[in-house]
């Protein structure tokens, strides 16, 4: 798995307090706590992993207009446009940092930490 992430694996070594304090990561955290947090995060991840809105919609098994509506809402919360590569890259990095450091993830769960044998599962 680490080889798939390349240099991104270095983000796992950032202190959680530093990562979670960044405004982009804090915005992803707010998104996750919202009323549609889980579907919003799934949409965000699909958009970041896709080359088009239609491809993201296909991954989510939704009509592209529904995904477009979700994206507009997500962009308002994150205050970043997902329609261009720099915006998607910025938010994809914030999403990864949030996933690595969110409360209740493997870093904060002693059982997961033992299972993975160290500070991160890479």
Going from the N-terminus, what domains does the chain have, and what CATH number goes with each?
Answer: 15-101 (1.10.10)
Q: How far apart are the first and last CA of the chain?
A: 6
CA-nearest of 67, 100, 102 to 82 is: 67
| Chain segment 70-116, per-residue pLDDT in tens | 999 999 999 999 998 899 999 999 999 999 888 776 665 555 443 43
Total-model pTM: 0.80
Of the ranges 1-5, 26-30, 45-49, which one carries the lowest mean pLDDT score? 1-5
């Amino acid at each position: 798995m680490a080889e798939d992430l390349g240099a991104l694996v270095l983000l796992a070594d950032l202190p959680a307090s530093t990562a979670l304090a960044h405004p982009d990561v804090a915005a992803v955290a707010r998104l996750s706590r919202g009323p549609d947090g889980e579907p919003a995060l799934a949409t965000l991840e699909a958009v970041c992993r896709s080359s088009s809105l239609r491809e993201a919609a296909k991954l989510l098994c939704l009509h592209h207009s529904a995904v477009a509506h979700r994206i507009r809402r997500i962009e308002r919360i994150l205050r970043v446009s997902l329609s261009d590569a720099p915006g998607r890259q910025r938010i994809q990095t914030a999403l990864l940092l949030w996933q690595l450091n969110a409360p209740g993830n493997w870093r904060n769960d002693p059982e997961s930490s033992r299972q993975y044998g160290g500070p991160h599962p890479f």
